[in-house]
Structure 1
Amino acid sequence: MTTFVALDFETADNGRDSACSIGLVRVVNSQIVQRVHYLIRPPRPIFRYTHIHGICWQDVMDHPTFGELWSSINDVLEGAEFLAAHYASFDQRVLYACCDRHGIPRPCQPFICTVQLARSTWNIRPTKLPNVCNYLGIALNHHHALSDAEACARIVLAAVQPTIA
């Protein structure tokens, strides 16, 4: 494993294009080398999930849109062999919907799901992010995008570490 990026989105509403926060953690040669968090102004001022992540319209209304942030986000993704996320299908759909909304080509990296990784590596169930972090002793501020992304990076790193006999 050379380079990967773990990411996590928080969304404002039911639309997959409603990203209001993204956390990105870049790993090179098994070392975390970059941590980035952005608040994002979603396309609508409707916030249905403030009770989950604590973000509301007033927090993001003066922040850049996904399209305006794309060059900075893409810089972090550049050269990554894969992207990792917990319940990766959700984050993949959000990333693609945001790219589509802003006319940005979708990133070509495959996604690794840390839920599936945790199940196959340690047979953890339930496999919610707090469960996996508790099992591995990873600190977590759940539903803060950067904390969730870093937890995903650490799950991948823990899964690929050689077993000490």
Structure 2
Amino acid sequence: VIAEFDEFINPGHPLSAFTTELTGITDDHVKNAKPLEQVLQEFQEFCKDTVLVAHNATFDVGFMNANYERHDLPKISQPVIDTLEFARNLYPEYKRHGLGPLTKRFGVALEHHHMANYDAEATGRLLFIFIKEVAEKHGVTDLARLNIDLISPDSYKKARIKHATIYVKNQVGLKNIFKLVSLSNTKYFEGVPRIPRTVLDAHREGLILGSACSEGEVFDVVVSQGVDAAVEVAKYYDFIEVMPPAIYAPLIAKEQVKDMEELQTIIKSLIEVGDRLGKPVLATGNVHYIEPEEEIYREIIVRSLGQGAMINRTIGHGEHAQP
């Protein structure tokens, strides 16, 4: 280690109990810290002309770029290595590729998981292990070759899944949806039915794609990266979906969204995405059953799958919805 950058940021408001419990960071840690804009500027200076590394870099880079954009700072332009995807393709036989499980497997110290400085150091040490391994076992010595020489044909099995809504508009589409359902439940089944995007693209004729719920990628990018990034992602879809605030309310309970005001801002942003692309914006309901008495059947299925299930785990409805 030749240099370190480690700064708390004063958020301008009290930290939530969830944040303190997850990270160990309290209001006392941040009350005299620097403001966000100053820390962003200092970090950009610290890491310029370097390769950035993060575990689940898609989220981290998107989050950083959204904040850079808000403060009129240049976005990240240098190369980025995602150790999560690196691990998934280097060790496809592992069931779990999170930072915690990987550090335990390789004997890397991780004293305070979810505190940025400890996570960053552990990620760096894992990277050194991965680079040595990929050179010795796969002959890859150039980082530019990683995406070419290391991609596992089964990488989709460990990829983070995203939801989409698919409607059929003609007989060709009906035939294609049957093919996709069959493939997702046989060839590409891994924990849940899933379809690689390339396979969806090959069978897209006659189908209409919607951006789905909070588990869809458009919603995710709006929250983590902002409207401009979401506009690019949304070009893939035929229409944008927005849902009543009560449908998204479990995100507040899980502290993924601060409050109802922020939730309403997100909904307005989704509408803006559709308007900027000239795509229809549909008000939908994330419906999983038709008759009210059928709710109990879905609840039985969701609860029986356990906490680790990858399906939409929200049960109940409206203000009574539970994560």
Normalising to structure 1: TM-score of the pair? 0.71
1:16-27 equivalence runs, <5 A: none
Rounded to whole Å, the distance in 2 between the matches of 1:99 and 1:57 is 24
Q: Which has the higher helix share?
A: 2
Q: What is the count of residue pairs matched by the alignment?
A: 132
* Structure 1 unmatched runs, 5+: 1-31
Is the 8 Å Cα contact of residues 85 and 112 (structure 1) preserved in structure 2?
yes
Q: Which secondary structure does the structure 2 equivalent of 1:126 belong to? A: coil
The structure with the largest alpha-carbon Rg is 2
In structure 2, distance between residues paired with 1:86 and 1:76: 19
Query: Is this contact kept in 2: 1:84–1:113, CA < 8 A?
Result: yes
* Aligned twin of 1:129: 99
Which residue is 1:73 aligned to?
A: 43
Q: Could you tell me which residue of structure 2 aligns to residue 160 of structure 1?
A: 131
| 1:86 match | 55
- Larger RCO, structure (CA 8 Å, separation 6 or more): 1
Q: Which amino acid aligns with 2:84?
A: V
Q: CA deviation at 1:139?
A: 0.6
After superposition, residues 135-146 of structure 1 pair within 5 angstroms as 135-141=105-111, 142-146=113-117
Pairwise CA distance, 1:38? 0.7
Aligned to 1:100: 69
* Superposition deviation, residue 46 in structure 1: 4.4
Deviation at 1:110, TM superposition (A): 3.3
Question: 1:19 maps to which residue?
Answer: none
Conserved? CA contact 1:115–1:127, under 8 Å: yes
| Cα distance in structure 2, aligned partners of 1:100 and 1:70 | 11
SS of corresponding position for 1:40: coil
Distance 1:43 1:108, change over 3 A: farther
Runs of 4+, deviation exceeding 4 Å: none
Aligned pairs (5 A) from 1:37-52: 37-47=6-16, 48-52=18-22
| Secondary structure of 1:55's aligned partner | coil
TM-aligned CA deviation for residue 116 of structure 1: 0.9
Offset at residue 78 of structure 1 (A): 1.2
- Maintained 8 Å contact 1:118/1:155: no
Q: Is the 8 A contact 1:84 1:153 kept in 2?
A: yes
**CA distances 1:79-114 after superposition (whole Å, capped 9, x unpaired):** 11x311111122112211221222211121233211
Cα RMSD after superposing both structures:
1.9
Which residue of the partner structure matches residue 122 of structure 2? 151
Q: Distance in 1 between matches of 2:10 and 2:95?
A: 35
- Work out whether residues 119 and 125 of structure 1, in 8 Å CA contact, stay in contact via their aligned partners in 2: no
Q: Specify the SS of the correspondent of 2:6.
A: strand
Is 1:109 equivalent to 2:78 in the alignment? yes
Aligned-pair identity in percent equals: 27
Query: Offset of 1:66 from its aligned partner?
Result: 2.0
Which structure 2 residue ranges, 5 or more long, are not aligned? 138-323
* Distance change (3 Å), C-alpha of 1:43 and 1:113: farther
Tell me how far apart the structure 1 counterparts of residues 74 and 29 of structure 2 sit (CA, whole Å): 28
Query: Is this contact kept in 1: 2:20–2:26, CA < 8 A?
Result: yes
Equivalent position of 1:57 in the other structure: 27
Return the TM-score normalized by structure 2: 0.38
Amino acid at match of 1:41: N
SS in 1 for 2:49: coil
8 A contact 2:103–2:122 mirrored in 1: yes
- Paired with 1:35 and 1:140, the residues of 2 have a C-alpha distance of 17
